[in-house]
Amino acid sequence: MIRFAIDARLNAYRQGGIAHYTRSLATAMAPLLAAGEELLLLEHVRARSPLVPGLRRSRLLTPPHHRFEQASLPLEVWLRRPTVLHSPDFIPPLVRPCPAVITIHDLAFLYFPDILDQAARRYYGQIYQAAASAEAIIAVSQATRDDIVERLGVPPERITVIYEAADAHFRPLPLSPGATRVIDSQTLVADSFLLFVSTIEPRKNIPTLLQALRICCDRRPAAGYRLVLAGARGWLDEPILALIGELGLGDRVTRIGFVGGDDLRWLYAACRIYLNPSRYEGFGLPALEALACGAPAIVADTSSLPEVVGDAAWLAPPLDPVAWADLIEQLWHDEQARADLRRRGPLQAARFSWHAAATQTLALYRQLAQR
């Protein structure tokens, strides 16, 4: 029996990008297994329900990111006898009984070290050892692959680019004129707002967006520009939120918390323009989700974002509020341009799929198993 094990312990603690990646990849991989192959999910004991119903799971005691993880995890992995181990959360057991694949989603912690507390600094400080020891490395974009080569000194041939994807749930949603929806106690009207979706934190570059909005409002006070900020509060969010008041945008910005499921799909489909000014993204999944729903989009021309959106979105320099204001104003008032982007978005998003990601990842597992 060839046993491919995926370290899914983080999913018992967090429901962010890595947890979503692990669940989506395992779900898509399950029906692709050949005879004599098994996919084993290594979950933490505190996980109450299986990550992927129907897949075999084994429950481990070692918590993710624990300070003694490198001491106890190797023994727990050894007891499960995997043929190949996949660590989607960057860091594998540095002592292990089998080849390891790691996924490096981004190197934000190297470009923005201030985002790390002491525990995170200790955990992600192992990235150099992890990259050197792993038998295979998955990067989720060409931009991330280039970062790994440059910052970690990994030879390019050791890195395989396997793209993430938007879930099938994200697709265009026909909306009647003036359609409304109440989300987080806020009543929103379709085609009347700009949209930002992500955690409220410095790397997401929301101040540029707010400054651009102020410029737009000053240029055309009667145009009705409004911005919806959808996302959980994050690290150093206080100065960002305070800027809303400092710029006099209290009546132009609507804050809602974390949004998922049907509400998130509605936001993407209903927004007049989706905006992503992030200074750095390893993949930029919200941008792809927005395109999949047909949202006209403007994104930063940095890191992986141009690679993900292709010709289905407009690009702007991340730190130039005037450039953002110019593009927002132009697209807000150009119905034909918005219609063109609404057509292009789903076509671009369809170039990425979890089936393709699972097929390529499974091929990488099999290569390692044959060594």
364 and 219 assigned to the same domain: no
pLDDT tens string 32-66: 999 999 999 999 999 888 999 999 999 999 999 99
67 and 215 assigned to the same domain: no
Helix (H) or strand (E) segment spanning residue 57 = strand 56-60
88 and 138 assigned to the same domain: yes
In a domain, 295, yes or no: yes
Q: Give the residue among 141, 137, 112 at the shortest CA–CA distance from 127.
A: 137
185 and 285 assigned to the same domain: yes
241 and 125 assigned to the same domain: no
Q: What's the rounded Cα separation, in Å, for the pair 29 and 54?
A: 12
17 and 35 assigned to the same domain: yes
29-41 burial code (b ≥16 CB/10 A, e <16): beeebeeebebbb
Looking up residue 12, the CATH number of its domain turns out to be 3.40.50.2000
Give the pLDDT score at 349: 98
222-245: average pLDDT: 89
74 and 93 assigned to the same domain: yes
Kindly calculate the radius of gyration of the chain based on its CA atoms and give it in whole angstroms. 21
161 and 219 assigned to the same domain: no
Give the pLDDT score at 37: 96
Per the CB < 8 A criterion, the answer to whether 314 and 327 are in contact is yes
Give the whole-number percent of the chain exceeding pLDDT 90. Answer: 87
pLDDT tens string 331-351: 999 999 999 999 999 999 999
123 and 9 assigned to the same domain: yes
94 and 240 assigned to the same domain: no
pLDDT tens string 170-223: 999 999 989 999 999 999 999 999 999 998 888 899 999 999 999 999 999 999
In a domain, 87, yes or no: yes
In a domain, 222, yes or no: yes
Domains: count for the chain: 2
In a domain, 172, yes or no: no
Q: What's the rounded Cα separation, in Å, for the pair 349 and 48?
A: 33
Structural domain of 230:
180-349
